[in-house]
Amino acid sequence: MLKASSLAQYTRSPEWATKAIPNFCEVCFWKCAKWVNLDEDGNIRSLKGIDDDPHCNGRLCPRGTGGLGMYYDKDRLTTPLMRVEGGDGQTFKEVSWDEALSFIAEKMNSLKERYGPESVALFNHGSSGKHFTHLLKAFGSTNITAPSYAQCRGPREVGFKMTFGQTLGSPEPTDIRDTRCLVLIGSHLGENMHNGQVQEMSDAIDQGADIITVDPRYSTAASKSRYWLPIKPSTDLALLLSWIHVIIEEGLYDKDYVEKHTYGFDRLRHHVKRMTPEWCYGITTIKPDLIRKTARTMAGASPAVIVHPGRHVTWYGDDTQRTRAIAILNALLGSWGRRGGFYFSEKVKIPSFPTPDYPKAKWSWRELLDGKYPLAGLSVSQTFIEASIAENKSEHPIKGWLVSGTNLPLTIPDNSRFEKAVQDVELFVAVDTMPMEVTGYADVVLPECTYLERHDDLRSSPHRQPYIALRMPAVEPLGDSKPAWWMARELGLKLGLDAYFPYEHFEEVLEWQLKQLGTSMEEMQMTGIKRFERQNPSLYLKDEEVPYYNTLSGKIELYSTELEQHGFDPLPNYVAHPEPPDNYYRLNYGRAPMHTFSRTSNNDYLTDLMETNTVWVNPRVAKIWGFKKGTKVKLRNQDGVVSDFPIEVRITERIRWDSIYIVHGFGHNNKKLTKAYGKGVNDTALITKVMTDPIMGGTGMRGNFVTFELIEEPENATI
Amino acid sequence: MQEEVIISGRNIPHIDPHLEIWHWPIPVYLFLGGLAAGILFFAAYYTIRGREDELPTAVKWSTFLTPFLLIIGLVALFIDLKHQWYFWQLYLTIRIESPMSWGAWVLMFITPLSILWSASYVKELFPGWRWKPDFLNRVEELVISYRKPLAWIMLFLAVILGIYTGILLSAFNARPLWNNALLGPLFLTSGLSTGAATIMWMSKQHHERSIFARIDLILIGIELFLIIHLFMGFLAGPEVQLEAADMFISGAYALPFWGLVVGLGMILPAILEVLELRGVKIPAAFPALLILIGGFIFRFIMVEAGQLSSYPY
Amino acid sequence: MRYAMAIDTKKCVGCSDCVIACQIENKVPIGYCRDWVTETVVGTYPDLEMEIRSERCNHCDNAPCVRCCPTGASYIDEGGIVLVTPNKCIGCGACIESCPYDARFSHPTEGHVDKCTFCVHRVKKGEQPACVSVCPTKCMYFGDINDPSSEISQILSKRKYKVLAPEAGTRPQVYYLI
C-alpha cells in the first residue's frame, strides 16, 4: 500500500555515518558529481563538487551550487494531480498515487487494445527517462523521443557521422585544455555554462591559446577572443566554406593527415574554388583580410586546433550541412584524434540488470518519419506531435503521451501544433518536480522528487577517462513526491509487467551493477565516483596510425558518399536565408550562465542572480524607437504572435542593429510558478516559423523576426 | 558608449540603484542639533561677556527650547538606528577618529547641561517656584554660582556640537560632495545663524533684536562666502567633484538650492533685516522663519545629494 | 601577514558562482549579497571591449569604514581583514556612507551591518574563501601578499593589475588582473 515514507523504506543502508552524501547534478545535462552536505538536523546545507570528477574538478557551476533551490522551492509539486472533467477544464484535484497510477494503467491498456502499445509515446530529457523507457519498452512501445536531438544537437551528430563515421556524443570530446586555437562558431561558451569546457577554456587562456569567435553578438567568449568576427546572422556556412578555401588554396592544411586519412579532397578543392574571402565578404560582411588572418591562425595552431561543433545547432534548416562544413574544416586541420583537437573518449559499459527480453514493437519512430529525414539517428520529436494530431490521419497514430523532465511548450517550436495534439491525445501524463507549463496541459500530473532525494542509474558519460558516479538520496522526498523508478515500477506492476521489475527497490539494481563492475555500494558511498581504465589506452591517434573510419569509404569523408546516396549535397553549399523585413529584427536567443532551459527560473538562489530576461537592442535601434533605460515593450513576431508579458529593453552595443537577443527560459505563464510567472518573454512562443532540415529533421528556429509593441508613447521616436 | 551593468542581480534596498540609507531623521537631527548649538553658543558667550541682563532672551529664555530640540533630535537619531537596542555601545568607548563618537559624547554632556542651564532660570520666570525633591534646589544654587565656568564648558560643547556634523560628513572619502574641509565651518555657521534667528524672533526687546539681526547678517555673509568658496573648490577639483557640483549647477538640485536655500533662506532674510535696521517695520517672525526653513532644507538637500554623489569605477 | 585577493578579468566569464557560493556559505539573505558581478562594455559595435569583475569589500588598508565607526564595531583583524562585531554595531549607517564600493549593507533581520569577511572562518582553518574555492574558471586568487612565495604574490608580480577607485584613497586590497 502506498503510504508516506521514511528514508529507511527507500534504502537498506544504516543510519548515515557521514554528513556528505554523493550525488550527481541534474540541473543541466553535464551531470557533475557532487557532495550533498547536510547540517546537524539532516537538512541540505550546501552542494560541493567532487574533486576528482573530470566533469567539474571539484568546482560546480552556479546552477550546481544553487541546486538546493530546486529542493527548497515552495512551488514544488508534492501530490499527484488529476484534471477535473467539465467546468473550465483548468482545475486539478489532488489524488492518491493509487488512483493516479490505476487511471494511467487502465488508459494505457485501453490504448494498447485499440491502437497497439506503440501508440503510447514518451517525451523525455533527463535521468528519469531511463526508468520510463524501460517501462514503455516492456509495455511494447519503442516510441521514445528526446527533444535534445531534433531541437538541439541532432544536426551536428549527423554532420560529424557523415564525415568521421561516428557521432560526437555528450559531452563532446573537445580537447580544449591543450588546444592552441579554439574557434567558436555558434557556441557562446562562458554564457552556456558547460562546466568542464568553461574550465578548460580558462586553462587554455592561461596557456596563451587564441580564441576566434564568430557571432553576430559580442558574447562573453567574443570578449576573450583574439579575433571576433561580427558575422551577419544566417551566413555562417559561407564563412566556413571560405575558410576551407583559404586553407586549401594557401596550402595550410595538414597535408600528411589529409592524404592518409581523408577521401574526396580534390572534389572539395574544386567545390570551394570560387568561395574566396571576397565572395564571402559580400555575404557575411566580414572583411577578407580578417577571414585570411583567422584561417592562418587556425592553421598555424594545427593540429592543436578545435573548430567547436557547437551544441544547439538547429538554426536555419541547413544545419547538418553547416556542421558538415565544421567537420570538414577540422579534418583539413588534422585535429580529429590529435592532442589539442578531438580526443577519443570512452565510457564505462554499465551491465543491464537481467530482465526478460522486451516484446517486439510492430512499428517505431522510424515509421513516423513518413519517408522523410532518412539520416536521422534518433527519433524526431515533432513527428510524434504530428502523429498525435487526429487531422493528420497518421497511419501510425500516437494516442498516449508520457512526458518527463521536459517542458514541451518552451522546448518545441510552433506551439500551435503542440496545442492541437494535446486536444487529440487520449492520455497525457506529465512527470515533473515543478508545476511547469507542460503540467497544465496534462490529464495526470505526477510529482517527481528532485535528484537530491532519489536513486537513479549510474552516470556513465564518455570522457578522457571512464568514470561512474552514484546518485543516492540525501534527504527524504518532499511531501508525496516520488522517484521515477518507483513510478515506473508501480505502473509496471499495475500493467502486469512484474517480470520486468524483479526488485523491490532500485538500490538492488545499483548494488548488482556495482558488484558486476567490481565495486560496491559501500565504496561508492565513500567516494561518490570511481575511475576505470580505458580499453584503448591511447587518447589520440598514434603516429602513423590510420584507423578505419565507419564511413562508406572507410576514410574521413570530406566528400560525403552517404549524403550523395540519399540525394543530398555531398559537399555543403551556401544558401541564403530570409532576412528580416523593415522594422523587424531577427530573434536571437541563448543562455545565461546562471540559468538552464526553463527549469531554473523559479529557483530562489538563481533568480536572485537573474530574475528575468531583457531584450538586447542596439543603441541605434533604440534611438529610432525612442527607447530609454528601463523601457518595457512587448514583442510581436512575423506571424502576429505577441509575447504574453512585457520585457525590459537593454540598450547595449553588444548586439547588431538587425537582431535582438533574449536569454531563453523566461516568460512563464503558469501562475503556480510564483517566482517565475510573468517575468520576461518566452522566446519559444515566438518561434512559429520552423525551417526543417530535410536530412535528419532538425527544427531550425532562427528564422523568426520580431518587432516591438510599445506599452506607452515614448518621446522622440522617429517611427 | 560606455555601459556598466551588474549582472548578478544586485538590488539591495536603500543602496541600489543609488545610496539612500540616511532618510529624514538625519537632516531633522542635523537641523535641531545645529539650532540648539547656536542658541547655547550665544547663551554661553553673552554670559561670559557679562551681558545676561542686557540680552535675556539670548541667555535665558531661548535656552528653554534646547532640551526639547536636543531630545527630539536624539529620538530622531535613535529611530534611524538599525540595531537600536545596542545604542549604549556608543558610550563604552571613545574613538578619536570617528566624529560620530565625538558627537555621541558631546550630546551626552550638552543635553543635561542645557537642561540644568534652562532650569536654573525657571525661578526668574515663575518667582514662587520651588523644585521638588529638595536637593534639586541645591543643584540649582550650584549651577548659578558656577555660572561662568559652566558657560565656558557650554561654549566649547556648543561649538563642537555645531561643527562636528559637518566634519562627520566631510570625513567620508566615498562621497565627493561632502569630502571637503568647508562643510564643518559651513554647518557651524548655519547652526549659529538659525540660533540667532530664533533668538531674534523670541526676543521682546528691540535692542536685543537688532543686535541679533546684525549678528545674523554677518553670519549670512560668512555662509554665502563659504558656499561660494565651496563651489569654487568643486569646480577646481577632480572629476568626481565636478560631477557633484554639477548636481547643483545644472542638475535637479540647482533650483531648490540656489532658489530656496540661498535665495529665500539667506539673501531674502538678509535684505529684510537690512531694511528693518533702516527702520522699515517688518515682523521679526518673517526673516527668522525664512532662515529656519532655509536651514532645514539646506541640510535635507546636503544629506540627499551627498548620498547620490559617488565614485564611478 | 596581509591577506589580499586577485581576480583575473581575462578569465572571468561572469557566471556569478562566487555570488551563490558566498550566499550559501555565509547564509546571506536572499535579496542581499556580499559580492556581485559587474560588466563594463566600452565602444561601438563592432569595436568593443568588455570587462567582467567580481566585486566585494576590498578590505582596504586605509579603511574609511573602520575610521568612522563610533563604537569600534568595525575593526581590522589579523592579516588586514576588515570585520564587524555584530553586537557592537548600532546600525548608524556611517560605514555604509563611507564605503566608495557600496560593499556594506544593513542586515534585514538582524539590524547590524554585514559584508564580505574574506570567509575568515574558513581562512583560519587554512581553507580558501568560498568564492575562490568554487570559481569554475579558477580566476580568483587569495593569500598573503607579504609572502613572496604565495600564489597571489607570484601572479601579481607577473601580470598588470588595477584596483577600484584608487583616487578615493582607501588602498583597497582586491586586485584585478587586466
Q: Report the pLDDT value the prediction gives residue A6, as an integer from 0 to 100.
A: 32
Task: Please give the single-letter amino acid code of residue B76.
Answer: A
Q: Which residue of A has its CA nearest to C13?
A: A190
* Measured CA distances, B226 to A380, B220, B233 (Å): 78, 10, 10
Task: Decide if B309 contacts B177 (C-beta within 8 A).
Answer: yes
Q: Report the pLDDT value the prediction gives residue B138, as an integer from 0 to 100.
A: 86
Of the listed ranges A120-134, B105-119, B127-141, the one predicted with least confidence: B127-141
Distance CA B177, CA B235 (A): 11
The residue among A165, A118, A164, A171 whose CA lies nearest residue A148 is A171
- Kindly state whether C9 is in contact with chain A, defined as any CB-CB distance less than 8 angstroms: no
Q: Is B78 exposed, middle or buried (0-12, 13-18, 19+ CB in 10 A)?
A: middle
Q: Report the pLDDT value the prediction gives residue A718, as an integer from 0 to 100.
A: 62
Domains of chain C, each with CATH number or no CATH: 3-177 (3.30.70.20)
Q: Report the pLDDT value the prediction gives residue C2, as an integer from 0 to 100.
A: 96
Q: Report the pLDDT value the prediction gives residue A40, as an integer from 0 to 100.
A: 82
For residue A716, pLDDT over 70 is answered with: no
Give one word for C93, left, alpha or beta, with left for phi > 0 and alpha for psi -120 to 50. left
Query: Is B84 within 8 Å of C44 when comparing Cβ atoms?
Result: no
Which residues 602-621 of A have a C-beta within 8 angstroms of B?
Answer: 607-611, 619
pLDDT digits (tens, 9 = 90+) for A281-299: 999 999 999 999 999 999 9
Non-local CB neighbours of A236 within 8 Å, separated by 6+ positions? A185, A186, A214, A284, A322
pLDDT mean across residues, chain A = 93
* Measured CA distances, A390 to A367, A383, A386, A393, C98 (Å): 17, 13, 9, 5, 69
DSSP symbol at C41: E
CB atoms within 10 A of CB A512: 15
Q: Report the pLDDT value the prediction gives residue A229, as an integer from 0 to 100.
A: 97
Query: Is B171 within 8 Å of C68 when comparing Cβ atoms?
Result: yes
Domains of chain A, each with CATH number or no CATH: 81-149+364-448+474-516 (3.40.50.740), 152-344 (3.40.228.10), 585-712 (2.40.40.20)
Task: Decide if A655 contacts A616 (C-beta within 8 A).
Answer: yes
Q: Report the pLDDT value the prediction gives residue B127, as an integer from 0 to 100.
A: 84
Which residue among C10, C16, C48 places its CB closest to the CB of A653? Answer: C48
Total beta-carbon pairs less than 8 A apart between chain A and chain C: 110
Distance CA C113, CA C94 (A): 10
> For the CA atoms of chain A, what is the radius of gyration?
25
3-state secondary structure (DSSP) of residue A466: coil
Q: What is the pLDDT averaged over residues A295-304?
A: 96
Q: Which residues pair with C175 in a beta bridge?
A: C6
- Kindly state whether B13 is in contact with chain A, defined as any CB-CB distance less than 8 angstroms: no
Alpha helices in B122-182 (DSSP H): 122-125, 135-145, 147-170
Q: What is the pLDDT averaged over residues A504-512?
A: 96
**Residues of chain A found within 8 Å of residue B8, distances taken between Cβ atoms:** 594, 609-610
Who has greater pLDDT, B131 or A603?
A: A603
Which residue among A609, A651, A653 places its CB closest to the CB of B8? Answer: A609
Q: Report the pLDDT value the prediction gives residue B137, as an integer from 0 to 100.
A: 86
Q: Which residue of C has its CA nearest to A225?
A: C10
Q: C-alpha cell of A422?
A: 494535446
Of all residues in chain A, the percent with pLDDT exceeding 90 is: 93
Burial string for A91-130 (b: 16+ CB within 10 Å, else e) reads: ebeebebeebbebbbebbeebbeebbbbbbbbbbbbbbbe
Optimal mutation site among A217, A595, A608, interface B, most CBs of chain B within 10 A:
A608
Alpha helices in chain C (DSSP H): 17-25, 64-68, 94-98, 120-123, 130-134, 151-158
Query: Is A608 within 8 Å of B7 when comparing Cβ atoms?
Result: no
- Residue A309: band (very low, low, confident or very high) from pLDDT cuts 50, 70, 90: very high
Which residue among C14, C31, C138 places its CB closest to the CB of A202? Answer: C138
For residue A14, pLDDT over 60 is answered with: no
Distance CA C2, CA C143 (A): 8
Q: Report the pLDDT value the prediction gives residue A172, as an integer from 0 to 100.
A: 93
Q: What is the pLDDT averaged over residues A492-514?
A: 96
- Residue A714: band (very low, low, confident or very high) from pLDDT cuts 50, 70, 90: low
- Residue entry with cell 543635553: B111
Query: Is C45 within 8 Å of A56 when comparing Cβ atoms?
Result: no
Which residue among C33, C71, C111 places its CB closest to the CB of B90? Answer: C71
Distance CA A415, CA A393 (A): 20
Q: Which residue of C has its CA nearest to A199?
A: C137
A657, containing H or E segment:
none
Show the low-confidence residues of chain C (pLDDT under 70): none
Query: Is B1 within 8 Å of C168 when comparing Cβ atoms?
Result: no
Q: Cα B229 to the chain's mean position, in Å?
A: 20
Q: Report the pLDDT value the prediction gives residue A11, as an integer from 0 to 100.
A: 28
Q: What are phi and psi of B119, to 5 degrees?
A: -65, -30
Which residue among C19, C91, C108 places its CB closest to the CB of B81? Answer: C91
pLDDT digits (tens, 9 = 90+) for B58-111: 888 999 999 999 999 999 999 999 999 999 999 999 999 999 999 999 999 999
Non-local CB neighbours of A575 within 8 Å, separated by 6+ positions? A237, A318
Q: What is the pLDDT averaged over residues A334-350?
A: 96
- Kindly state whether B7 is in contact with chain A, defined as any CB-CB distance less than 8 angstroms: yes
The residue among A200, A55, A177, A164 whose CA lies nearest residue A541 is A164
- Kindly state whether C79 is in contact with chain A, defined as any CB-CB distance less than 8 angstroms: no
Q: Cα B291 to the chain's mean position, in Å?
A: 12
CB atoms within 10 A of CB B169: 25
Query: Is A611 within 8 Å of B9 when comparing Cβ atoms?
Result: yes
Which residue among C39, C41, C90 places its CB closest to the CB of B89? Answer: C90
- Kindly state whether C112 is in contact with chain A, defined as any CB-CB distance less than 8 angstroms: no
Query: Is A652 within 8 Å of B3 when comparing Cβ atoms?
Result: yes
Task: Decide if A519 contacts A530 (C-beta within 8 A).
Answer: yes
Q: Report the pLDDT value the prediction gives residue B281, as an integer from 0 to 100.
A: 84
pLDDT digits (tens, 9 = 90+) for A159-199: 999 999 999 998 999 999 999 999 999 899 999 999 999 99
- Residue A2: band (very low, low, confident or very high) from pLDDT cuts 50, 70, 90: very low
For residue A39, pLDDT over 90 is answered with: no
Q: Report the pLDDT value the prediction gives residue A713, as an integer from 0 to 100.
A: 64
Q: Is A527 exposed, middle or buried (0-12, 13-18, 19+ CB in 10 A)?
A: middle
- Residue A268: band (very low, low, confident or very high) from pLDDT cuts 50, 70, 90: very high
Q: Which residue of C has its CA nearest to B93?
A: C71
Q: What is the pLDDT averaged over residues A197-202?
A: 96
Q: Report the pLDDT value the prediction gives residue B91, as an integer from 0 to 100.
A: 94
Distance CA A378, CA C143 (A): 51
Q: What is the pLDDT averaged over residues B203-223?
A: 92
- Residue A12: band (very low, low, confident or very high) from pLDDT cuts 50, 70, 90: very low
Query: Is A594 within 8 Å of C50 when comparing Cβ atoms?
Result: no
Alpha helices in chain B (DSSP H): 25-48, 56-59, 66-80, 99-119, 122-125, 135-145, 147-170, 183-202, 206-235, 239-249, 254, 268-277, 285-308
pLDDT mean across residues, chain B = 93
Task: Decide if C78 contacts C71 (C-beta within 8 A).
Answer: no
- Residue A719: band (very low, low, confident or very high) from pLDDT cuts 50, 70, 90: low
Chains touching chain C through at least 3 C-beta pairs below 8 angstroms are A, B
Query: Is A609 within 8 Å of B5 when comparing Cβ atoms?
Result: no
Q: ipTM more than 0.85?
A: yes
How far is the alpha carbon of C79 from chain A, nearest alpha carbon, in Å? 27
Q: Report the pLDDT value the prediction gives residue A3, as an integer from 0 to 100.
A: 29
Question: Cα dihedral angle (B255, B258, B263, B264), rounded to 10 degrees?
Answer: 50
Distance CA C137, CA C132 (A): 10
Distance CA A471, CA A703 (A): 40
Task: Decide if C55 contacts C164 (C-beta within 8 A).
Answer: yes
The packing angle between helices B206-235 and B183-202, to 10°, is 160
Query: Is A611 within 8 Å of B8 when comparing Cβ atoms?
Result: no
Q: Report the pLDDT value the prediction gives residue B312, as an integer from 0 to 100.
A: 82
